[in-house]
Structure 1
Amino acid sequence: MIFQVGENYNGFKLLEEKEIKEMNSIGRIFEHEKSGAGLLYIQNDDDNKVFSITFRTPPTDSTGLPHILEHSVLCGSRKFPAKDPFVELAKGSLNTFLNAMTFSDKTMYPIASRNDKDFLNLMDVYLDAVFYPNIYEKPQILAQEGWHYELENLEEEIAYKGVVYNEMKGAFSSPEQVLFRKMQDSLFPDTTYKYDSGGDPEVIPDLTQEQFLSFHKKLYHPSNSYIYLYGNGDIMEHLRLMNEEYLDNFGKIQVDSEISLQEPYKEPKASTVEYSVSADESEDNKTFLSLNFVVGKATNPELHLAFDILTYLLLDTSAAPLKKALLEADLGKDVFGAYDHSILQPVLSVVVKNTNEEEKERFERIVFDTLQQLVKKGIDKKLIEAAINIHEFKLREADYGRYPKGLMYCMKSMESWLYNESPLLHLNYAATLEKIKTALTTNYFEKLIEKHLIKNQHRSLLIVKPKKGLAQEKEEEVKQKLSDYKEKLSKEDLQKLIENTEALKKYQEAPNDPEDLIKIPLISLEDIEAKAETIPLVEKTEENVPVLHHPMFTNEIAYINLLFDTTVVPQNLIPYISLLSFTLGKVSTEKYSYEDLSNEMNIYTGGIDFRADAYSLKDDDGTYFPKMIARSSALVKQIPKLFELLGEMIGKSKYDEVKRLKEIIREVKSRLEMNILQDGHIVAARRATSYFSPIGHYKEICTGIEFYQFIEELERNFDNKLQEIQSNLQKVASMIFNKNNLLVSVTIEEKDYEVYKQSFNSLMEYIKDETFEKHQYLFDYSIKNEGLLTSSKVQYVAKAYNFNKLGHNYTGHLQVLKTIVGLNYLWNKVRVTGGAYGAMAGFSRNGNLYFTSYRDPNLERTLKVYDEAYQYIQQFSADEREMTKYIIGTISKMDAPLTPFMKGQEATANYISKIEYEDLQNERDEVLKTKPEDIKSLSSLIKDVMNQNYLCVLGNEGKIKSNKEVFEHLVNVFK
């Protein structure tokens, strides 16, 4: 339909209409005249529609009020009074995205779906949740999601419990998280940004019910809202729903949520914070040093984009001069940069990890000396070209993986809209990018460095240093505080706490009223496509190498994956396959220095990366196919250059650059440490799987704790092991990169395949044509059931085994069981009543099964929940509507929209694992036909798996040691 500026459409007045060529879209800005709500509508032909409602929510303390409220409003509302409509939607909608997010100054509620009816249903539930939540009638919601005192009897100690409380205990266990959370505090002492919107565990228990309700009453009003719609949906129907059902009930008001600017510092400031390391862990070389600069305002589109590129240029590539200078000075073992442009006053940070506090003066000196040299001598124009080109490629590709691109555009729009500027400011980026490209012939970036970094007094030096046993110390302080509190309470007060604890548990364990569940909208199974999606795959051969061609529209981009069989590598060298993947592209080749190689890659391609992985035969974890994968993308016209660069990396890399190898190994160790603390649930589940599964053990060697231990030893004994490292990298590379080991996957349009074909022989010139013996790997499965000790304040609890080994077979019903167990049993037992941030299950075709928890305050209790899961399944019952819900939720995950790159990857994985289209269709048919009795029949499978008692817990050393009888081995993760 044709819109007219100034006209009113279902209560919304159109203020502005503008073409967004960069997104092939039309942007329309509306205001709801009665309520004052703002709305941005991005119209295009994308069927993955996105809706979001955002509120400006600047915190006034660190109780985590915005974060707790974000959780809480989704716990039932006026029209949808069930206790957890969010989970019900996750169980039973075709959503492609469903979540809520708390930022430093805003709270966002986004959903996405490709199904029109489902999309409208999701909008309805979310709008009712934010405007009419049950928090006013049910104080149990704050107690559950935020915090509460827990006391079950008079003899027990009082404890703090709550989902967000435990989530943030987990967040504050990571030194990187401590660093990033304290950066804003060091720069904005007089504004909202000094507070932690997520919540500081030490402050969260100060939050009262009155503050909680008052915050919602004040800020969750349409006049303080920013509504976003994206895609090819029925805009008039969406506007009607919002107007008639919600916004028309409100009048326009003035909401005081303005975010004030921090006055610039007259001189830089420094601050120090501590983080905990375990009692057996060294404090040496464990400090973080961070220089943080306030850079203008987010509403300056040119500065905003330019500093995104500049951060990459200075700190993110192998050629990055500031990163290189800091590493060459041997200041620390890892260097990285961060540019936070999601706040009113963006911040650029330069971070050195694994250093010591006494290096702070040298750190500052090297940073500023390097910046001054860049201004004086000028930045290498090729480096500038590389940084601009890779950013432009990514902007135009708009591939955000499993995140809908419409959601990423929403976040980008908020970086101006929230601060009273046009939401289109950063979406119309082409003209801004052209201005920045003048840097190729001028001193553009040098001027930015001089003004915003060298001469900038509004900066801070933040020191984050380790302290042994700090976590234990804090725990003791909390225990003492609660003990003192208990002492002050009368018997009646204590009895009241016990009653409150019981009442909360009753509330949590009580089933939803069936009538409340029926109110949550549900599509029917008829709305679901019965056929599994077919991803095109044409088997071809070029230069005697098998090629899998996936012809589809890619917008002139070629996605090319080279997959090399790595069973040619002997067992003792498997960890070197993974180390090689981190090394390629980051060391020099015969033709290019590693800096030049980085520049060439960024100028001519969309990226090249390597990784070690393995694919299992569809129904057997003992038969698997280890691969070294080179993933790459480029514009079709740049395929010849892409192959030249790939060839140089694969066939001509130099492994004799001592300093560079040391830097790479240190960086790999640093990033693995971050991953262990951030993704502990995956780490624990992978480790547990390695106790019994051949493919699980292989992946553990390449990516898990075992690989971390390997890297840690190389880094610690680098000088003694140097020749061994160089020799083994060369040996492994020469074995792997052979024509006889190669399979190629190409995702490209049919019309462009000839370009690939004509160029392919140039790549073959770099690859040997030799035959190596292939190995059978025999792993040691004697080590199992470990407690992996860290200074974390929470646990990640995993249990796993292979059901095929116990005589059970894979069926599509297992995927429905995953939905039921994950979003019902584990959600209620581990998250709701247990207080963990999350819990999940995994069921693979090859028989591997795991349960794992995330940021969990418990250990034995969670293991007991896993062990008793079969009883829940045994007694499972569901009416037709409830069963439909679980099926829809399962299909939603199976049908997650894929980018062309992801489609090519998935088709290739199925090909290698010998998963035929018939297998996918059978699985889909089984999912769609799942009955309650099919679920009940799986109880024996779960019981048998849990009875094998293969478990791994990563987390708090005190908690694990106090439960040491559970484990066969206790392992200190960090030294």
Structure 2
Amino acid sequence: MFALRDGVMCYYSEQACRGIVYCNIAFEVGDVGGEAEMLLPLLASAITGLGTSDIPYHLMSHQIGLVFGGLRTDLEVADHAETQNPHAVIWMKSRFLVQYADEALPLLDQLLCQANFADHTRLREIMLEMRNDYRASIVQNGSAYAGLRAEAGLSTLEEKEERLKGISQYQYLDAVLAQPVEKVAAALEKLRDGVIRSCRSEVQLTCDPEHRRSMQDKLPALMVNLWSRDYTDIPSLSVVSDFKLLPLPSVDQPESLVTTTSVNYLAMAFPGALVFQPGFAAQSLISHLLSTGYLWERCRMRGGAYGASAGVHGLSGIFRFITYRDPQTARTLEAFFESFDFMSKQMPSDDLIETGIIALVGKELRPMNPGAKGLLAYRRHRFGITDDLRQENRDRLLALGQEDLRAELQLLNSAMQRGVLSMLVSPQALSEYGQAAELQANESQAAAQDSQQPSVEWLLRRAAVNQHVVVSA
């Protein structure tokens, strides 16, 4: 790592790249809140989707194709593993041949700092494309959306990600499209001028060692607009003044999101281990064994779901079950609730545990191109995933046995009492549970359970009442 100029840090990864330069610029936007935060995904798309005042979009698009081997923006949300401070980052990811650096870097500078928001026709096209892509993906990726909603009910980090990448973002884009495009353009320009600043940026550079010095000199020299932008406050923005976020699900308020699908997507999230805690390795192995064994048999083979899996999110400390294109609701929830007891009673053999450990270790040893290696190393640095932490988790994983898994299964079974349920369902899926009177009749049963696990029927009745139409026919 070294400083470029004015305190902007560059994380350099030395790789054999054969003349290709991978240049990724990260802008920290974790402190952006309110409606400005909701506009960040649209801003990220507009940066590479618009031209400039000097170069219209159709010419800019052609020039990008000639100069870059890859150029895209992305938005990432993650906690720091040690401090647990949430981060949100706008990425500008690019790839070009080293001989094109003198053309590529000024183009990046123009896209970041001079995108022409006055091109209202093109901006509206971007907004429509984003909204329609979200709408088309809701059924296709229903498990991801339901999972994000369930996790958001437990974690401020996942709550932020849900606002930026989930159902809330889709609904916000839908509301933005009803506003005058001039109003949206003015807000995006103010937001761009607030967050695309050198003081918010870090550069991740991967290239051949003989090209490092020239790239180190060219980055600040050729990206003059970015380096001239110092700190400024984030403006307060209002585009959709009456927009209200969909209430998140909670332990006492499971939800059902109704769409035009004829199948269901179920997600249940509850507290799990953080990546630096001793139980993380065991929970990673448990989730793998459940996904490839019990859940496959119970939900896929018997229940008819296209997919079912378990997973633990180490940065937010959440364990999650999800199903994909699932014709069931009650039977799937029963499978979730019975999973840990089943595994405790029918503990996998030592050979099966060893196979699971090999599979988990193998995920970290997959081949990657030089750019992916450099970016992964930077992300681990930025989010506190140190080599010592990774080695510690691997040592714990390799030492796991049946008794370690049994102890962790008991903890997970207890944690399920604080589970949050979100379901993306068809209009008919919960019709038999949807009578409010029946729900009230079961309130006394739920109250009497106290710390006991809620019944499947109670959860479904509650979700049927806490119902939100996301996409209608």
What TM-score do you get using the length of structure 1 for normalisation? 0.43
Q: Quick one: distance in 1 between partners of 2:261 and 2:400? A: 41
Q: Name the CA shift for 1:810/1:752 in 2 (closer, same or farther; >3 Å).
A: farther
5+ residue gaps, structure 2: 236-243, 435-460
In the TM superposition, what whole-angstrom CA distance separates every residue of 1:857-910 from its partner, at most 9, and x where no partner exists? 101211121122221233242333222112112222232222222212211211
Kindly indicate whether the alpha-carbon contact (under 8 Å) linking 1:808 and 1:941 is maintained by their aligned counterparts in 2: no
Match of 1:752 among 211, 214, 234: 211
Q: Name the CA shift for 1:586/1:781 in 2 (closer, same or farther; >3 Å).
A: closer
Q: Deviation of residue 783 (structure 1)? A: 2.8
For residue 813 of structure 1, what is the amino acid of its counterpart? A
Q: Which residue of 1 aligns with 2:365?
A: 895
Q: Quick one: distance in 2 between partners of 1:953 and 1:860? A: 12
Q: Which residue of 1 aligns with 2:402?
A: 932
Q: Deviation of residue 591 (structure 1)? A: 2.7
For residue 575 of structure 1, what is the amino acid of its counterpart? M
For residue 972 of structure 1, what is the amino acid of its counterpart? V
Q: Name the CA shift for 1:875/1:780 in 2 (closer, same or farther; >3 Å).
A: farther
For residue 42 of structure 2, what is the amino acid of its counterpart? L
Kindly indicate whether the alpha-carbon contact (under 8 Å) linking 1:692 and 1:781 is maintained by their aligned counterparts in 2: no
Match of 1:678 among 108, 125, 140: 140
For residue 80 of structure 2, what is the amino acid of its counterpart? L
For residue 393 of structure 2, what is the amino acid of its counterpart? E
Q: Which residue of 2 aligns with 1:638?
A: 100
User: Residue 713 of structure 1: SS of its match in structure 2?
Assistant: helix
Give aligned-pair identity as a percent.
21
In the TM superposition, what whole-angstrom CA distance separates every residue of 1:283-303 from its partner, at most 9, and x where no partner exists? xxxxxxxxxxxxxxxxxxxxx
Q: Quick one: distance in 2 between partners of 1:974 and 1:605? A: 37
Residues 537-556 of structure 1: matches in 2 within 5 Å?
A: 539-543=1-5, 544-556=7-19
For residue 179 of structure 2, what is the amino acid of its counterpart? F
Q: Name the CA shift for 1:593/1:804 in 2 (closer, same or farther; >3 Å).
A: same
Q: Which residue of 2 aligns with 1:970?
A: 467
Residues 497-896 of structure 1: matches in 2 within 5 Å?
A: 539-543=1-5, 544-618=7-81, 623-715=85-177, 717-719=178-180, 722-767=181-226, 768-773=228-233, 783-784=248-249, 785-803=254-272, 810-846=279-315, 847-896=317-366
User: Residue 429 of structure 2: SS of its match in structure 1?
Assistant: helix
Q: Deviation of residue 670 (structure 1)? A: 1.1
For residue 326 of structure 2, what is the amino acid of its counterpart? D
Q: Deviation of residue 763 (structure 1)? A: 4.3
Kindly indicate whether the alpha-carbon contact (under 8 Å) linking 2:273 and 2:314 is maintained by their aligned counterparts in 1: no
Q: Quick one: distance in 2 between partners of 1:887 and 1:949? A: 27
In the TM superposition, what whole-angstrom CA distance separates every residue of 1:223-269 from its partner, at most 9, and x where no partner exists? xxxxxxxxxxxxxxxxxxxxxxxxxxxxxxxxxxxxxxxxxxxxxxx
Q: Name the CA shift for 1:671/1:763 in 2 (closer, same or farther; >3 Å).
A: farther
Q: Quick one: distance in 2 between partners of 1:568 and 1:638? A: 35
Kindly indicate whether the alpha-carbon contact (under 8 Å) linking 2:280 and 2:393 is maintained by their aligned counterparts in 1: yes
User: Residue 16 of structure 2: SS of its match in structure 1?
Assistant: coil
Q: Quick one: distance in 2 between partners of 1:899 and 1:786? A: 41
Kindly indicate whether the alpha-carbon contact (under 8 Å) linking 1:693 and 1:802 is maintained by their aligned counterparts in 2: no
For residue 324 of structure 2, what is the amino acid of its counterpart? Y
For residue 737 of structure 1, what is the amino acid of its counterpart? I
Q: Which residue of 2 aligns with 1:950?
A: 420
Q: Quick one: distance in 2 between partners of 1:874 and 1:774? A: 52
For residue 282 of structure 2, what is the amino acid of its counterpart? H
Q: Quick one: distance in 1 between partners of 2:14 and 2:52? A: 33
Larger Rg, first or second structure (1 or 2) = 1
Residues 283-682 of structure 1: matches in 2 within 5 Å?
A: 539-543=1-5, 544-618=7-81, 623-682=85-144
Q: Name the CA shift for 1:904/1:876 in 2 (closer, same or farther; >3 Å).
A: farther
User: Residue 611 of structure 1: SS of its match in structure 2?
Assistant: strand
For residue 769 of structure 1, what is the amino acid of its counterpart? R
Q: Quick one: distance in 2 between partners of 1:692 and 1:632? A: 35
Q: Deviation of residue 804 (structure 1)? A: 5.2
Q: Quick one: distance in 2 between partners of 1:615 and 1:634? A: 28
Q: Quick one: distance in 2 between partners of 1:849 and 1:823? A: 16
Q: Which residue of 2 aligns with 1:170?
A: none
For residue 754 of structure 1, what is the amino acid of its counterpart? R
Kindly indicate whether the alpha-carbon contact (under 8 Å) linking 1:866 and 1:946 is maintained by their aligned counterparts in 2: no
Kindly indicate whether the alpha-carbon contact (under 8 Å) linking 1:557 and 1:633 is maintained by their aligned counterparts in 2: yes
Q: Name the CA shift for 1:623/1:853 in 2 (closer, same or farther; >3 Å).
A: same
Kindly indicate whether the alpha-carbon contact (under 8 Å) linking 1:680 and 1:954 is maintained by their aligned counterparts in 2: yes
Q: Name the CA shift for 1:759/1:824 in 2 (closer, same or farther; >3 Å).
A: same
For residue 957 of structure 1, what is the amino acid of its counterpart? P
Kindly indicate whether the alpha-carbon contact (under 8 Å) linking 1:619 and 1:810 is maintained by their aligned counterparts in 2: no
Kindly indicate whether the alpha-carbon contact (under 8 Å) linking 2:152 and 2:248 is maintained by their aligned counterparts in 1: no
Kindly indicate whether the alpha-carbon contact (under 8 Å) linking 1:874 and 1:936 is maintained by their aligned counterparts in 2: yes
In the TM superposition, what whole-angstrom CA distance separates every residue of 1:798-833 from its partner, at most 9, and x where no partner exists? 01133359x975422222112111111211111111
Q: Name the CA shift for 1:671/1:758 in 2 (closer, same or farther; >3 Å).
A: same
Between 1 and 2, higher relative CO (CA 8 Å, sep ≥ 6) is seen in: 2
Kindly indicate whether the alpha-carbon contact (under 8 Å) linking 2:267 and 2:320 is maintained by their aligned counterparts in 1: yes
Kindly indicate whether the alpha-carbon contact (under 8 Å) linking 2:269 and 2:319 is maintained by their aligned counterparts in 1: yes
User: Residue 927 of structure 1: SS of its match in structure 2?
Assistant: helix
Q: Quick one: distance in 2 between partners of 1:891 and 1:808? A: 18
Q: Quick one: distance in 2 between partners of 1:646 and 1:674? A: 30
Kindly indicate whether the alpha-carbon contact (under 8 Å) linking 1:798 and 1:953 is maintained by their aligned counterparts in 2: yes
Kindly indicate whether the alpha-carbon contact (under 8 Å) linking 1:615 and 1:912 is maintained by their aligned counterparts in 2: no
Kindly indicate whether the alpha-carbon contact (under 8 Å) linking 1:607 and 1:632 is maintained by their aligned counterparts in 2: yes
Kindly indicate whether the alpha-carbon contact (under 8 Å) linking 1:562 and 1:743 is maintained by their aligned counterparts in 2: yes
Q: Quick one: distance in 2 between partners of 1:941 and 1:617? A: 24
For residue 973 of structure 1, what is the amino acid of its counterpart? V
Q: Deviation of residue 780 (structure 1)? A: 8.6
Kindly indicate whether the alpha-carbon contact (under 8 Å) linking 1:803 and 1:809 is maintained by their aligned counterparts in 2: no
Q: Deviation of residue 774 (structure 1)? A: 7.8
Q: Quick one: distance in 2 between partners of 1:747 and 1:636? A: 11
Q: Quick one: distance in 2 between partners of 1:731 and 1:944? A: 48
Q: Quick one: distance in 1 between partners of 2:135 and 2:153? A: 22
Kindly indicate whether the alpha-carbon contact (under 8 Å) linking 1:568 and 1:772 is maintained by their aligned counterparts in 2: no
Q: Quick one: distance in 2 between partners of 1:678 and 1:599? A: 31
User: Residue 933 of structure 1: SS of its match in structure 2?
Assistant: helix
In the TM superposition, what whole-angstrom CA distance separates every residue of 1:403-443 from its partner, at most 9, and x where no partner exists? xxxxxxxxxxxxxxxxxxxxxxxxxxxxxxxxxxxxxxxxx
For residue 864 of structure 1, what is the amino acid of its counterpart? E
Kindly indicate whether the alpha-carbon contact (under 8 Å) linking 1:860 and 1:963 is maintained by their aligned counterparts in 2: no
